[in-house]
Amino acid sequence: MIELTEPRAHHDCQVLVIGSGAGGATTAATLAEAGIDVLIVEEGGWVEQDSVVPFSLEQMDLQYRSGGVTVALGRPSIAYTEGCCAGGGTEVNSGLYRRPSKATLERWRKNYAIDDFDDDEFYAACDEVEQALSVQTVPGRQTPASELLRRGAAALGWRHDEIPRWMTYPNGNDAAAGRRQSMTRTYLPRAVRAGARLLCEHRVDRLIIDRQRAFRAELTGPAGEPVTIDFGDVIVCAGAIHTPALLQRSGFRGLVGKALAMHPTVKLAARFNEAINVVNDVPVHQVKEFAPELSFGGSASHPGLVALALTDNWAEMRDAVTAWPNIAVYYAAITSQGRGRVTSLPGLRDPLVTYRLTRRDRDLLGQGLARLALVMLEAGAREVYPSFKGAPTVRSRSDLAQLTAGFSANAASVMTVHLCSTVPMGSDRSKAAADSFGRLFGADNVHVNDASLLPDAPGVNPQASVMAVALRNARHFIEEHS
Amino acid sequence: MNTQRSMPEATVITGAAGWLGTALTHALVQSGGEWERSGTIRTLVRNRIEADRLAGHSPRIEPIVGDLLDPESLGRLFAGLAGNIDVLHTAGVIHPTKVNDFFTINRDGTKAIAAEAAKHGARRFVHVSSNSPFGTNSHPNDRFRNDEPYHPYYGYGDSKMQAELAVFEAVEAGLDAVLVRPPWFYGPHQPPRQTTFFKMVRMGRFPVFAGGHQSRSMVYVDNLVQGLVRAELTHTKPGLGWWIADERPYTISEIVETVGRALADEGFEVSPNRIRIPDMAARAAEFADKMIQRTGRYHQQIHVLGEMNKNIACDISVAQRDLGYQPQVDLYEGMRRSIRWCIDQGLEL
């Protein structure tokens, strides 16, 4: 474990980085290694990876915001999860890594007029991230749930592939012994080695601004005590929900928090004749036949999450829960045309998050869930339990007609883990809330450097995009301040 | 591509006097044509007029007047046939007056003919299905893949799905049956509703919804004949199905523009299309269609209007791979042939 900074009533630093996830850790390490005095504050605690079972309920309690129960209101409401610990989402997510496509980069560049946003440079940053996180495919056998997804897609002739992960495998081909190369194992220790300080369990309440310059952060410490930090520059990396919420609490409104983007997903549980559930890992295959609009993959499937996937039709499906070793949970994710909002409300600790799905999004969720169920039947599933109220148990192709007839997005358990775009970057001020390198419009020394900057949802697991953008913007910051 | 079977000694065609059935039957007897075949060509038709029309086209066509749901008619359809028998089941109803007809003709009729084919040891049974069991695509870029979950579009879609399921049951019981799935088709021998379509385009009155960006697969009837015959004559596992459509889907605006151009090139005066209708009108029509069908009735114009803002597009690559299917005619050429056929029939456009 690295040494954490001791709590005090007041700290000073040259650059304050708020948040220690994929954006914050990368930013802090890059700045510290360039000789800048960096203080990182993190709302959650430092949790050693080996101390908690991955994808377990205990982990949700320890490392997720609000125990993993956070909701974007709308019809339907969309449940989302966020990491809340040193390393942020990288400590708890599936560890899957995919570069954004050239088409995505072009769309971002064009629609938001992002200056100096060069493909080659961007992918060079991806190379660097891949090196630092040991991004690679699984050396041995994939989990049975992953193999089933692959088999189902292959039977239909649908495009699918294995997504590499940021993992190392110290025991050669033993995939089960993989070690996740999250921020607490990579960029955070690097930052600290280069002289950065890390202050955990401190929540930033607001930034104090004087004539477009922020100079102080007001925080609440672990025992509820007030803490202040004075800084020269601040870089907010609190994630797509809490970055805009903090900026709003500090007086920045405008386009901040107005264009939340995500990949809404719907789920199903599939029951096979044999034991296939691996409680502490997730599948690495994805079905990309309908990408970017639709992607299918596997979810965490420990018994609690299997039960959760069956709750929409508990009366009918609860008997299946005892068969959880034979069950795995899968998702269909869409690129959504809808947008949401993050609005901090006076007196409330957490912001109000809303999201609106378009008609096409709703149709696509239904079409996606049905196609995913078909993949499962082709993979040999005995029964498929879609997660929406009134869903039929699917045993054959003709049952799929009942699924599609009965599906309504409003009745579905829609959720997401990929949140972004609440402070989009670019030089088009009619859409962007920060400039082409993440400096907030309306402030001289307030920057953002996390998923909030991505102009829209990339259609793939976003951590590569977040980290590559963070590296690029951190370097630009260093150039400007040298 | 898979290997080919020999020509059958007997070919049985249902719905032979229909739009597709006529095109198919004519193709099988066309002297020197690509699909010409020897042997008996036995066809099921509904009345004497249809029988005379087919027999008048070629003495090789043997029409049997009867009803799909009448066992005695089906007995006569197969009576005395020997050697390999292939059955091409094109009969179906798409715009009936009562919703119930969908099920008696499309589902029960398919069950009956499949059972009869099995009884006579048919070598291969080709069932003509539809896009309708699969509903609509969620966005204009989506394409139905060869395998898709069922999502039937109202009564017709439901009945065509049940017909497919009946065919799969027959396969389980030992029949060598396959399916072809054509989307919206066009071409000679068209029914009067297609003439109305040309008229609307010519007068600039075809309803285009919300910009006309919706994608639609269509199939020229001769392309479909090719797909059907290839499905009959190609060695494959039973129980497979293939999309048979033109090379690529079109947008609704492209369809209207192309038909307008084809009409103009045939010498018609074509008014620019002015009917731009908000999406809401198609949704209202779809709702009305649903309500009407719930009462057991069916209204063709409202049904078609409700479908006009939908994307219905499929991917033919598996048919190309498995059957060597290669559509020969594109939208412009197909529409010109279709218009010329109307002129030859003395139909007013």
User: What are the 10-residue block averages of pLDDT along chain A, 482 residues in total?
Assistant: 91 98 98 98 92 82 82 90 94 93 97 97 97 93 94 97 93 82 97 98 97 97 97 98 98 96 96 94 94 95 89 88 95 96 93 95 97 98 96 96 96 93 98 98 98 96 97 98 88
Instruction: State which residue of chain B sits closest to A294, comparing Cα positions.
Output: B142
Same domain, A429 and A313: no
Domain boundary among A370, A391, A416: A416
Mean pLDDT (whole number) for B162-175: 97
* Cα four-point dihedral sign B246, B248, B254, B258: negative
Last residue of a domain, one of A364, A392, A416: A416
Phi first, then psi, for residue A173 (nearest 5°) are -80, 5
Q: A366, B318: Cβ pair inside 8 Å?
A: no
Q: Which domain holds residue A154?
A: 139-178+264-416
ipTM higher than the 0.95 cut: no
CB pairs under 8 A between A and B: 55
Compute the distance between CA of residue A431 and CA of residue A425 in angstroms, rounded to an integer. Answer: 8
Asked if residue A387 and residue A337 are part of one domain, the reply reads yes
φ, ψ dihedrals at B72, nearest 5°: -65, -40
pLDDT of the residue at A63: 87
Name every chain A residue with its beta carbon within 8 A of the beta carbon of B139: 293, 360, 363-364
Q: What is the largest CA-CA distance in chain B?
A: 58
CB distance A245 to A344 below 8 Å: yes
- Structural domain contains residue A155: yes
Best to test chain B binding among A361, A364, A367 (most B CBs inside 10 Å): A367
Task: Please give the Cα distance from B315 to B302 (Å, whole number).
Answer: 28
pLDDT 10s digits, B128-148: 999 999 999 999 999 999 999
Domain spans of chain B, in order of start: 10-190+218-247+312-328
A171 plus A187 within the same structural domain: no
Domains of chain A: total: 2
- Facing B149 at nearest CB: one of A290, A293, A374: A374
- pTM of the entire structure? 0.93
Is A284 inside a domain boundary? yes
Residues A238 and A346 in one domain: no
- Say if residue A197 is in the same domain as residue A294: no
Q: What is the pLDDT of residues B63-80, one digit of tens each?
A: 999 999 999 999 999 999
Q: Counting every residue, how long is chain B?
A: 349
* Coil, strand or helix at B288: helix
Decide if B318 and A157 are in contact by the 8 Å CB cutoff. yes
Q: Point out the residue among A158, A293, A378 whose CB comes nearest to the CB of B142.
A: A293
pLDDT of res. B21: 97
The answer to whether A293 contacts chain B (CB < 8 Å) is yes
Q: Indicate if A157 and A187 belong to the same structural domain.
A: no
Asked if B298 and B155 touch (Cβ cutoff 8 Å), the reply is yes
Q: Do B151 and A293 touch (CB under 8 A)?
A: no
Residue B102: predicted pLDDT: 92
The answer to whether the CB of B109 falls within 8 A of the CB of B91 is yes
Q: Which residue of B has its CA nearest to A291?
A: B142
Give A397's contacts in chain B (Cβ within 8 Å).
Answer: 149-150
Is B157 near chain A, with CB under 8 Å? Answer: no
- Mean pLDDT, to the nearest integer, of B194-209? 89
Distance of CA A90 to the CA centre of its chain: 8
Q: Residue B272's pLDDT is what?
A: 87
Interface of B with A in 318-337 (CB under 8 A): 318
A412 in the Ramachandran plot: left (φ > 0), alpha (ψ -120 to 50) or beta? Answer: beta
Residue (of B299, B300, B308) closest to B206 by Cα position = B308
Q: Which structure tokens are listed for B7?
A: 């020509």
Which pLDDT tens digit goes with each residue over B304-339?
Answer: 788 888 999 999 999 999 999 999 999 999 999 999
**Are both A327 and A460 inside the same structural domain?**
no
Please indicate, yes or no, if residue A427 is contained in any of the structural domains.
yes
- The per-residue pLDDT for A223 is 95
B146 close to A (CB below 8 A): yes
Instruction: Answer whether A157 sits within 8 Å of B145, measured CB to CB.
Output: yes
Cβ within 8 Å of B, A 169-198: none
Among candidates A156, A157, A404 on the partner chain, residue whose Cβ is nearest the Cβ of B150: A404
Contact in structure between A344 and A249 (CB atoms under 8 Å): yes
The whole-number pLDDT of residue A50 equals: 80
Instruction: Name the fold adopted by B10-190+218-247+312-328.
Output: Rossmann fold (3.40.50)
Give the orientation angle of helix A397-406 with respect to helix A359-378, to 10 degrees: 160
According to the model, what pLDDT value does residue B1 have?
61
Is residue B57 over pLDDT 80? yes
Which residue does chain B place closest to A159, by CA atoms? B145
Q: What is the pLDDT of residue A425?
A: 98
In sequence order, which residues have a C-beta less than 8 Å from that of residue B75 and are 6 or more positions away? B116
Q: In whole angstroms, give the CA distance from residue B132 to residue B102.
A: 12
Question: Measured between beta carbons, which residues in chain A are less than 8 angstroms from residue B138?
Answer: 293, 360, 363-364, 366-367
Q: Does A239 touch chain B (CB under 8 A)?
A: no
Six-digit token string for B228: 């059907």
Domain boundary among A391, A416, A441: A416
